[in-house]
Structure 1
Amino acid sequence: MIKAIGGYFGLEMSRAESLRYPDAQYFQSARACFYALLIQGKPSKVWLPYYNCDAMLGPLQRMGIDYGFYAIDEDFTISRALRLAPTEWLVYVNYFGLCDRQQAEVLRRFNPAQVVLDHAQAYYSPPVDCLATLYSPRKFFGVPDGGILVSNVRVGSTAADEEASHQRMSHLLKRFATSAEAGYADFQAAEKSLEAFDVSEMSQLSRNLLACADTPTVIEQRNHNFLTLHARLAEHNALAFDPSTLNGPLCYPFLNERNDAVRPDLLGESVYVARYWAECQGRCSPASWEYKLSRLLLPLPCDHRYTDADVQRVITLIEKGLKGD
């Protein structure tokens, strides 16, 4: 289209960079990326971690592809029992953007050409030489749709539904103009609409918004907030991390036996913490590590939106809750 000159003003956002993964294929969602990859590759079976959301199951079920689950150990490495047949694939999740070391071990143990790395929680962890790496920028930025596929395998796609993308903007605009609470019902509707996956591409709206991300600032602030939380909460956290490897993590994963009581206190003070992932409890033993994670883990917000004062408020609430005050 010819660029318009003059007329009314639109939103003004400075483009900070080009798209982060220029050689990737851009889809409506990470689920759509996976679906397109399955159509092209047609594995006989796919192995996924018990500790994962059900979003990845939809494409497998639609394709009629067999799948199974594997356990992870307490350091998020794969249980030693798993073996892959030559026509099978394995999906490994880079949990919280903190498992680069563990995924390197996965690629040593298994044929990289059979491994799909799920970086939905690891937007800033670079892709590596394997079958494919999947990204979900909606976990990191306010965009109405988007999934990124990095792979040497070229897959088919269809044109983006730009109008549908515009209709998924209301929760972003309401949070920008009023509050998180004002847009929550619209957010739920937007997420629901993306369950109807196909192989359509990422909208131009999402591409333009992603290009506004100031990557160095975002990574620096996420790392800083993570380290601030870790300095105060590490002694109460059953999980251990290597802070020297931080690269813009999704959240600060906090595991403590009292978290069942802490979560409602956070909610009451408008600190909204996701649950990863309640649905896995239906396929796990109540005694398993995955079941414990899905019930007790608090993925505390540490992203680039938050100041030291915001992070300190979260710390104060956590410490108060652990004491039972």
Structure 2
Amino acid sequence: MEIGSFIELQFDKGKEYYRDNNIIRLNTGRAAIWHSLRILGCDCIWIPYYQCDTVRDFLLKKGVTIKYYHIDKMFNPLDINQKSGEAVLLVNYFGVMSFDRINELALMFHNVIIDNSQSFFSKPNESCLNVYSCRKFIGVPDGAYVIGSDVNRFIEEYDKCFSSDTSLFLLQRIEYGCEGKAYKNRELNEKRLDSEDCMIMSDLTRVILDGTDYEYIIKKRIENFNYARKLFDGINCIDASMYYDETTIPMVYPFVYEDDELMLKLQKAKHFQGHWWNYICDEMNDKAFEYWLSRFMIPITIDQRYSFKDIEYIYSIVTNKEDFI
């Protein structure tokens, strides 16, 4: 025990959102998916083409056999011909899919891993393994959960992650904004995570998670998403609420608009979002739904940092109605 010397950052305690016994805390979502495969005893997995390439690359590095499936405009999985010993990864895209919707899909397969990386607050499905990413919802340098039966197996094989050496960007964002040195240091943290194996969540992240006001986050995200629906639904090329219900706490508002210049326009207005998974446009036929999503989907920010006025500002840029606000 250390006593005295300088005072460190302090946070509230006892608020961590997921705390029961069927949880393992790891460093990244991709590692959490791989750990889930180990728990299931599978060395082959079906994953969607519309998925972050860091997941694919990590699993391939681990010697996992990957089979790919398409999704349609209703986000239904297609082309899955699952065999014994194979797992299926189902993604809760944008965090806008209800528990009932994901459960309906999960009943179609066996050895199911639900990727809730974009849906931190979605209730775990007790018959599946459930993966959550902390960084998409809370300001932490690493962090993921796996929730489900028997997930604590293999935990003794993993080293502890240390994140404080590359977490300066979280403090710099407060004083400098997200551009410049803060962004450069965030990239250092991303490179660290890209180079890491499956590891136990860092103590720094655990402390932050244990002191976070989750009820405030839930309230703000729901309010902001509903306000974004009011503004953008009429010009959105997809139905962002097709599986939305009162239990859903989204990551973003998925806005699809067929204008290749819009993203650059938003970035010039300092709305720092990007098209997700641009690599898909280089690897897939331009008639595929996944190509279309990767090319035109803009994730509109609706998280707890922002107000209705901020969402109105984004809408004014999209619609060329600068006098809207």
- TM value normalised by structure 2: 0.90
Gaps of 5+ in 1: none
**Aligned pairs, how many?**
314
> Aligned partners of 1:95 and 1:77: how far apart in 2?
11
Q: Is the 8 A contact 1:35 1:198 kept in 2?
A: no
> Aligned partners of 1:72 and 1:18: how far apart in 2?
34
> CA shift at 1:35, angstroms?
2.5
> CA shift at 1:153, angstroms?
3.1
Q: Which amino acid aligns with 2:139?
A: G
> Aligned partners of 1:92 and 1:122: how far apart in 2?
12
In the alignment, does 2:218 pair up with 1:245? no
- TM value normalised by structure 1: 0.90
Corresponding residue number in structure 2 for 1:232 = 231
Corresponding residue number in structure 1 for 2:70 = 71
> Aligned partners of 2:94 and 2:285: how far apart in 1?
23
Q: Is the 8 A contact 2:28 2:193 kept in 1?
A: yes
- Higher deviation after alignment, 217-226 or 94-103: 94-103
Corresponding residue number in structure 2 for 1:88 = 86
Corresponding residue number in structure 2 for 1:150 = 147
Q: Is the 8 A contact 1:132 1:152 kept in 2?
A: yes
Corresponding residue number in structure 1 for 2:174 = 176
Task: Give runs of aligned pairs for residues 192-271 of structure 1, distance below 5 A.
Answer: 192-240=191-239, 241-242=241-242, 243-245=244-246, 247-258=248-259, 260-271=260-271
> CA shift at 1:321, angstroms?
8.0
> Aligned partners of 1:279 and 1:156: how far apart in 2?
33
Corresponding residue number in structure 1 for 2:126 = 129
> CA shift at 1:53, angstroms?
0.8
> Aligned partners of 1:76 and 1:245: how far apart in 2?
20
> CA shift at 1:37, angstroms?
3.0
Q: 1:246 to 1:303 in 2, by over 3 A?
A: farther
Q: Which amino acid aligns with 1:89?
A: A
> Aligned partners of 1:127 and 1:245: how far apart in 2?
16
Q: Secondary structure of 2:286's partner?
A: coil
Corresponding residue number in structure 1 for 2:117 = 120
1:76-122 deviation per Cα after TM superposition (whole angstroms, max 9, x unaligned): 1112x3221111110011001112343222122112xx111111101
Q: Which amino acid aligns with 1:138?
A: R
- Higher deviation after alignment, 59-68 or 81-90: 59-68
1:287-318 deviation per Cα after TM superposition (whole angstroms, max 9, x unaligned): 01100000000001000000222122111111
> Aligned partners of 1:283 and 1:130: how far apart in 2?
34
Corresponding residue number in structure 2 for 1:46 = 45
Q: Secondary structure of 1:244's partner?
A: coil
> Aligned partners of 1:39 and 1:108: how far apart in 2?
21
Q: Is the 8 A contact 2:36 2:113 kept in 1?
A: no
> Aligned partners of 1:212 and 1:64: how far apart in 2?
37
Percent of aligned pairs with the same residue? 25
> CA shift at 1:128, angstroms?
0.3
Q: Which amino acid aligns with 1:213?
A: T
Q: Which amino acid aligns with 1:45?
A: C
Q: Is the 8 A contact 2:27 2:201 kept in 1?
A: yes
Q: 1:288 to 1:88 in 2, by over 3 A?
A: same
Cα root mean square deviation, aligned: 2.0
> Aligned partners of 2:39 and 2:46: how far apart in 1?
17
> Aligned partners of 1:133 and 1:118: how far apart in 2?
6
